[in-house]
Structure 1
């Protein structure tokens, strides 16, 4: 089958998707915001490629390495693949909607996705989510098309991006059961070949974790607070509010009236398992709002099909294209507000860009101090500060950076890779917590809310 058919009717939506993506890349270049701490950490990973890292599989590091090889090491270069991955995901969603339903559903689904508030926001940052969403959507399309081998590759690459890709397995199993209403699909050897191929692609990260005491999986348990489980209704409320923010208020309202029938069984199986699982986690543990985002690949196709007038022969009372157009329009308004907010930051009650401001000046100050004291190590006691230092301090000084560990146990990537083993005679300190009293330190500067010290021990 043709996964991508560049027929005449597809050229206009494709052109609009390209225009939206070009606009987003323009704003990346125009605003040129400092890197967020996680982005800076991923950049550091990309300078030292491996098959795994403390908190994530390696795909985001490989993507950043490719983008910086092509475009350089600017903030825009690091982020440029984020809007591109979202564009590619919207293209895959178009073909997913067309294969499952019809062209009209495909149009609405791809434009609902590309205008989602979370996608607009995510397009400004280089994180694991844009890559994961692409591989999730692509694997879904390949799986539906029974292209078992490449579906397995897509699944493996998704696992190499983020461990939540594993939730695709129960989604696929539920779909196959609903399709056949029996368990005969368990006898299909192609499924096992596809799964084995996926595991083979993912195996380098498994091997890396085995060599490093399964540190990535232990980190997942740690951040979810699985050892401190307790029922808390406030957690699920916060989680659900984040989901509303992810898809927008109008689309959230459209979700209320959705009904299940056999026509929608695939997209329901694609979205409900991960949404139910993450919602359950949020009741008892700590579940981040973005853990559920793969669910919205199937969800927006479901909403588009259910609300698309004359698209499926549904009852007229549930078919209303106007509501879909309203959802897209409201999402575009949110996007305009997001992209115009830097122009009005002085009029806002708090600065939403505080976490991505001041790091360039901070890096310049520390690097100049390092030039005056070439024998001094640069020491931080915080993961985010260390990540920003690695990017903004300059290539010549990166090998001088060390991570001070107050907790005496591995809590992050830098505790594992660049720990301070011995206290040197000269240090440049940027501490979030208290500096030991035995250090002889002089405060040199105060930038971005952080004090910079030169110390002799």
Structure 2
């Protein structure tokens, strides 16, 4: 670890901070960017880790293509459909998408910075700062809706700036098309509209660019068509779900709880600081100070979306819990905001910069690297990985166990089901033949499985059913079967440490199914 940090520091300080050749900066940017991409590719093959449960869910969506899904637009499913169609239903096929999107987004950051400052050195710094932020490690290692959303957001925000500066209708159209693709990735892409209006108003260009902005709006709204079509057909489930996430859950108002409020907001703030890297906080201080003094519109432009999103979700944290990744898409232009300040720091701060970027990159390499020669099998690294990867463990072994039980007991086309859509999704990926699983509602909120054909279709049929759960001992509170054939508790472990047990039960003949309808979205 110490040697890795030292090498990264030497590379960064001697080559990036001192080398005057523009081509060298481009070479360094691509060397680091491609090296991280290769490490992420090897990460996809780590044998002890399986798909993240959300990745498995989005993969299963691609097996059931639709205009939209319960909680998200269709882009994540479409991309999975394309990648698995080319590479097969393998983990690397799913992980290849964020790897490529990460390469592309880092390049957009580089180009955006070079466009603003005409400096390959500053652009290289922006690219390395981007790669060093932990939020982008999450977005471009695991394939979630944030992957394509962040890519299209960064691209659209760059194209929009060019459209404003160059006053070309073609650039406004391009920005609108890219925004439409972003909307088909995640609904929060719509924040580009208020952010751009605020910038146009404060820069005094609202009147001049008003008609072009309407072109942007009109083209971008095409991205809502799949969602609108789907929600019209499905009782506006997505809107109800988003309202519930925003705290509008209905029912009796809850009494004010100061402790809960403090807990939510402090978790939000600490999470966001971690996502942009605590090592980069001094850079933010100096960049904000410089922008206030200089009143540079370009600096304000690249800082604006991250600031608005941070404040917006911060306000929402007063009323509900905020997932740490939700605001992260808008942080992608923060490196463009920081880079010109970092590039012109005094010698003492340049050394700090080399350490900050080196440590941020080294920690990512440490986390993603395989456990060759068992060097990560004990100590604090092992404990950290066990905590971080606990939702990615044991599913391939579980799928193999289900395959073995089917063969050994002579089961023909059993129905797989769980009370958890996370477990059900993993079963679909890792059980041989990728069967469509089912879920039962034992008291959970609604999800995508409530919109697909359910277990009720099997009532009265002479079928075999396999119940798999990491949280329930039996489905009997909502189901009534003819008889129980077999049951066991199957352990799942991270390397040498057992993390828990999965209950497996094999039943015959579903006589009745009475789901619990909480009415929650």
Alignment TM-score > 0.5, same fold: yes
Pairing 1:435–2:435 present:
no
- Provide closer, same or farther for how the CA distance between residues 349 and 325 of structure 1 changes in structure 2, counting only shifts above 3 A: closer
Pairing 1:444–2:468 present:
no
Pairing 1:361–2:397 present:
yes
1:11-60 CA distances to partner (integer Å, 9 max, x unpaired)?
Answer: 41234322332232133235573111111111111112112111111111
Give the Cα separation in 1 of the matches to 2:363 and 2:32.
18
Q: Which residue does 2:376 correspond to in 1?
A: 344
Contact 2:150–2:330, Cα closer than 8 Å, also in 1: no
Decide which moves more: 354-363 or 343-352. 343-352
* Equivalent residue runs for 1:199-210 within 5 Å: 199-210=221-232
Contact 2:272–2:324, Cα closer than 8 Å, also in 1: yes
CA apart distance, 1:305: 2.2
- 1:373 is aligned, of 407, 411, 418, to 411
- 2:154 is aligned, of 137, 148, 151, to 137
TM-score (structure 1 length as normaliser): 0.89
Give the Cα separation in 1 of the matches to 2:210 and 2:383.
59
CA apart distance, 1:326: 2.9
CA apart distance, 1:197: 0.6
- 1:111 is aligned, of 128, 132, 142, to 128
Give the Cα separation in 2 of the matches to 1:329 and 1:169.
36
Q: Which residue does 1:241 correspond to in 2?
A: 270
* Equivalent residue runs for 1:238-277 within 5 Å: 238-257=267-286, 258-259=288-289, 260-261=291-292, 262-263=295-296, 264-277=299-312
- 1:83 is aligned, of 99, 104, 122, to 99
Pairing 1:126–2:143 present:
yes
Decide which moves more: 339-348 or 161-170. 339-348
SS of 1:62's equivalent?
helix
Contact 1:160–1:202, Cα closer than 8 Å, also in 2: yes
SS of 1:188's equivalent?
helix
Contact 2:268–2:317, Cα closer than 8 Å, also in 1: yes
Give the Cα separation in 1 of the matches to 2:415 and 2:239.
32
Pairing 1:97–2:113 present:
yes
Give the Cα separation in 1 of the matches to 2:316 and 2:117.
32
Pairing 1:184–2:202 present:
no
Contact 1:32–1:76, Cα closer than 8 Å, also in 2: no
Give the Cα separation in 2 of the matches to 1:442 and 1:175.
66
Pairing 1:306–2:311 present:
no
How many residues in Structure 1 have an aligned counterpart in Structure 2? 440
CA apart distance, 1:441: 2.0
TM-score (structure 2 length as normaliser): 0.78
Structure 1 residue runs of 5 or longer lacking an equivalent are 1-6, 311-315
Runs of 4+ in 1 over 6 A off after TM superposition: none
Decide which moves more: 444-453 or 117-126. 117-126
1:255-274 CA distances to partner (integer Å, 9 max, x unpaired)?
Answer: 24422332122112232111
CA apart distance, 1:410: 6.2
Q: Which residue does 2:234 correspond to in 1?
A: 212
Structure 2 residue runs of 5 or longer lacking an equivalent are 1-21, 164-170, 493-500, 510-521
Q: Which residue does 2:55 correspond to in 1?
A: 39
Give the Cα separation in 2 of the matches to 1:241 and 1:138.
28
Decide which moves more: 88-97 or 106-115. 106-115
Give the Cα separation in 2 of the matches to 1:208 and 1:271.
30
Contact 1:121–1:338, Cα closer than 8 Å, also in 2: no
Pairing 1:398–2:435 present:
yes
Contact 2:42–2:370, Cα closer than 8 Å, also in 1: no
CA apart distance, 1:96: 1.1
- Provide closer, same or farther for how the CA distance between residues 357 and 281 of structure 1 changes in structure 2, counting only shifts above 3 A: same
Contact 1:109–1:301, Cα closer than 8 Å, also in 2: yes
Give the Cα separation in 2 of the matches to 1:443 and 1:124.
39
Give the Cα separation in 1 of the matches to 2:270 and 2:135.
13
Pairing 1:287–2:322 present:
yes
Give the Cα separation in 2 of the matches to 1:273 and 1:122.
20
Contact 1:446–1:452, Cα closer than 8 Å, also in 2: yes
- Provide closer, same or farther for how the CA distance between residues 268 and 124 of structure 1 changes in structure 2, counting only shifts above 3 A: closer
Give the Cα separation in 2 of the matches to 1:208 and 1:23.
39
Give the Cα separation in 2 of the matches to 1:21 and 1:142.
25
- Provide closer, same or farther for how the CA distance between residues 41 and 366 of structure 1 changes in structure 2, counting only shifts above 3 A: same
Give the Cα separation in 1 of the matches to 2:142 and 2:440.
28
Give the Cα separation in 2 of the matches to 1:453 and 1:30.
30
